[in-house]
């Protein structure tokens, strides 16, 4: 009973870390009423987040040809892998009785199709991804708080004031610690991640700052009267530097797209007929089309507005523009979104550790207080030690993209569909996985060079 109760405390997105004893024969009857429209809403909400803020910088590194092409490439990859994963929702028992098994979470599906060892391997990458997201959220919140400070300074002291130009740089660490302290408090609230209003609030905030960034970029291009940028992107001193920047940009784009961790949970809400997988594929294609249009707008308008001066975080580039209150509002939406979003990505790690050690998740105790404090402190320390937004985003995105968004979905599909080795379909799927592995390995290496190379310099 303790393990079952622990599962109920863990948010649906992240039950996958701790689910190891699922029994489909005792699955309760659930009334599923979701449609293609509700699925699209869930997908768009899951995909659009803080990753959109780095897309203008990514386009600036890749140029007017490579930037849009990379965004479209990752959109296509996401459509393919989401289609493969959607087919893994329904499985049937191997004993021939034809009992339908619904895989309600990502790791549950990995365990069913690939076994316990693969589930543990998947859990490792998932844990790294979740912890990395906490670091990225800390960095993003700090830069947004710093941007608010700078925008207010410009409004008070005047554009180009030296004091305002210096504002923010040295205080990023202070804001990271401040954000970490807020998370220390929020992390101790039982079932914070299960509050329905949190997802709604986070979605409203993410759409707000994304639309504001889109609009500000378009307005800046109109104001300039010229489209800035170059075919090959920002020119750097050496070819090696350019190669690493391209790799980091690819990692940033990879971070912005995948939603594989929640796809099966969204699919589990859909009614049938038609088959859940067909509805999910249709919703995925439409959602990725909408998201890609939006990403292209943010990335390309941002690059067109700033050219070689495109900032790593799009919203920080408008610090000395008016209306300053709109810029403050956008950055405030980022901070508010990430205050809750941090908990969505960290609560599963908390639940996993507390189940392992038998800690009671519904009350404050010594283990819970110490572990959660240590977790938040570690994420904050990493952010302070490596305060390189785009490089860290690129590293986390590239490192986790292939195993979680490509490898496991591909292997599960091959098992579920019983694709015979060396057939045309098997070769095509293997080639798809291998190509994505090469791109992600290149992006991971370049992002790692960016993170650790920047620290050494």
What's the confidence (pLDDT) of residue 154? 73
What's the confidence (pLDDT) of residue 160? 63
Mean pLDDT on 198-222: 83
Q: Are 57 and 252 in contact (CB under 8 A)?
A: yes
Residue 389: pLDDT band with limits 50, 70, 90: confident
Give the H or E element holding residue 399.
helix 389-400
Mean pLDDT on 121-135: 85
Block residue for tokens 């943010």: 298
3-class DSSP state for residue 34? strand
Residue 56: pLDDT band with limits 50, 70, 90: very high
Whole-number Å distance between alpha carbons of 153 and 345: 33
Mean pLDDT on 442-455: 81
| CA–CA–CA angle 349, 137, 14 (5° rounding) | 30
Mean pLDDT on 293-314: 90
Return the higher-pLDDT residue of 362 and 57: 57
250-287 burial: b if 16+ Cβ within 10 Å, else e: bbbbbbbbbbbbbbbbbbbbbeeeeebbebbbebbebb
What's the confidence (pLDDT) of residue 13? 41
Residue 457 has pLDDT above 60, yes or no: no
Residue 268 has pLDDT above 90, yes or no: no
What's the confidence (pLDDT) of residue 428? 95
Sequence-distant (6+) residues with CB within 8 A of 31 are: none
Mean pLDDT on 349-368: 67
What's the confidence (pLDDT) of residue 179? 93
What's the confidence (pLDDT) of residue 90? 83
**Among 2-16, 44-58, 268-282, 329-343, which stretch is predicted with the lowest mean pLDDT?**
2-16
What's the confidence (pLDDT) of residue 9? 36
What's the confidence (pLDDT) of residue 10? 38
Mean pLDDT on 236-254: 90
Tell me which range, 139-153, 179-193, 227-241, 320-334, is most confidently predicted by mean pLDDT. 227-241
Whole-number Å distance between alpha carbons of 268 and 262: 10
Residue 16: pLDDT band with limits 50, 70, 90: very low
What's the confidence (pLDDT) of residue 390? 75
Structure tokens at 289: 């089309």
Return the higher-pLDDT residue of 295 and 7: 295
DSSP letters, 172-201, are HHHHHHHHHHHHHHHTTSTTGGG-HHHHHH
Mean pLDDT on 28-55: 78
Whole-number Å distance between alpha carbons of 207 and 213: 10
Residue 302: pLDDT band with limits 50, 70, 90: very high
Partners of 270 in beta bridges: 34
**Among 97-106, 179-188, 357-366, 383-392, which stretch is predicted with the lowest mean pLDDT?**
357-366
**Among 128-137, 291-300, 429-438, which stretch is predicted with the lowest mean pLDDT?**
128-137
Mean pLDDT on 114-141: 86
Residue 444 has pLDDT above 60, yes or no: yes
This prediction's pTM: 0.81
Residue 37 has pLDDT above 90, yes or no: no
Residue 33 has pLDDT above 60, yes or no: yes
To the nearest whole percent, how much of the chain has pLDDT over 90? Answer: 28
What's the confidence (pLDDT) of residue 77? 94
Q: Are 366 and 102 in contact (CB under 8 A)?
A: no
Give the H or E element holding residue 155.
helix 116-157
Whole-number Å distance between alpha carbons of 251 and 272: 37
State pLDDT tens for residues 331-355. Answer: 898 888 888 778 777 777 777 677 6
To the nearest whole percent, how much of the chain has pLDDT over 70? Answer: 81
What's the confidence (pLDDT) of residue 28? 55
What's the confidence (pLDDT) of residue 102? 84
What's the confidence (pLDDT) of residue 455? 57
Sequence-distant (6+) residues with CB within 8 A of 364 are: 188
Calculate Rg over the CA atoms of the chain. 22
Return the higher-pLDDT residue of 148 and 23: 148
What's the confidence (pLDDT) of residue 3? 43
Return the higher-pLDDT residue of 356 and 51: 51
**Of residues 339, 372, 1, the one with CA closest to residue 142:** 339
Mean pLDDT on 269-286: 88
State pLDDT tens for residues 394-416. Answer: 888 888 889 999 999 999 999 98
Residue 20 has pLDDT above 90, yes or no: no
What's the confidence (pLDDT) of residue 166? 54
What's the confidence (pLDDT) of residue 368? 81
What's the confidence (pLDDT) of residue 2? 41
CA atoms within 13 A on the CB side of 150: 26
Q: Does the CA dihedral 170-171-176-178 come out positive or negative?
A: positive
Mean pLDDT on 123-143: 86
């Amino acid at each position: 009973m303790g393990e079952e109760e622990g599962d109920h405390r863990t948010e649906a997105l992240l039950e996958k870390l701790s689910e190891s004893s699922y029994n489909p024969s005792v699955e309760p009857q659930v009334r599923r009423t979701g449609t293609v429209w509700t699925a699209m809403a869930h997908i768009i909400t899951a995909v659009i987040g803080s990753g959109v803020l780095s897309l203008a910088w990514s386009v600036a590194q890749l140029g007017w040809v490579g930037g849009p092409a990379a965004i479209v490439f990752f959109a296509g990859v996401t459509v393919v892998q989401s289609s493969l994963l959607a087919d893994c929702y329904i499985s049937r028992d191997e004993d021939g009785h034809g009992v339908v098994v619904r895989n309600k979470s990502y790791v549950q599906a990995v365990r069913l199709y690939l076994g316990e060892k693969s589930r543990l391997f998947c859990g490792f990458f998932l844990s790294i991804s979740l912890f990395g997201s906490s670091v990225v959220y800390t960095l993003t919140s700090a830069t947004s708080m710093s941007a608010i400070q700078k925008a207010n300074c410009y409004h008070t002291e005047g554009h180009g004031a030296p004091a305002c130009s210096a504002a923010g740089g040295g205080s990023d660490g202070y804001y990271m610690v401040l954000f970490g302290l807020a998370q220390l408090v929020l992390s101790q609230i039982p079932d914070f991640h299960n509050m329905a209003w949190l997802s709604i609030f986070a979605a409203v905030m993410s759409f707000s700052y994304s639309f504001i960034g889109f609009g500000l970029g378009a307005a800046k291009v109109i104001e300039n009267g010229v489209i800035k940028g170059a075919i090959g992107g920002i020119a750097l001193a050496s070819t090696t530097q350019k190669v690493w920047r391209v790799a980091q940009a690819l990692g940033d784009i990879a971070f912005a797209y995948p939603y594989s961790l929640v796809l099966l949970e969204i699919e589990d809400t859909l009614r049938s007929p038609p088959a859940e997988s067909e509805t999910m594929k249709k919703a995925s294609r439409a959602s990725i089309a909408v998201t890609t249009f939006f990403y292209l707008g943010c990335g390309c308008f941002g690059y067109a507005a700033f050219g070689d001066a495109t900032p790593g975080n799009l919203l920080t580039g408008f610090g000395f523009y008016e209306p300053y209150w709109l810029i403050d509002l956008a950055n405030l939406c980022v901070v508010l979104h990430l205050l809750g979003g941090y908990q969505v990505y960290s609560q599963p790690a908390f639940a996993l550790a507390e189940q392992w050690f038998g800690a009671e998740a519904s009350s404050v105790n010594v283990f819970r207080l110490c572990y959660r404090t240590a977790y938040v402190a570690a994420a904050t320390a990493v952010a302070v030690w490596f305060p390189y937004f785009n490089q860290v985003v690129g590293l986390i995105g590239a490192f986790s993209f292939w195993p979680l968004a490509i490898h496991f979905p591909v292997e599960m599909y091959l098992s579920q569909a019983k694709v015979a080795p060396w057939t045309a379909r098997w070769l095509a799927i293997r080639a798809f996985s291998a190509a994505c592995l090469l791109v992600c390995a290149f992006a991971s290496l370049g992002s790692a060079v960016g993170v650790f190379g920047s620290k050494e310099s």
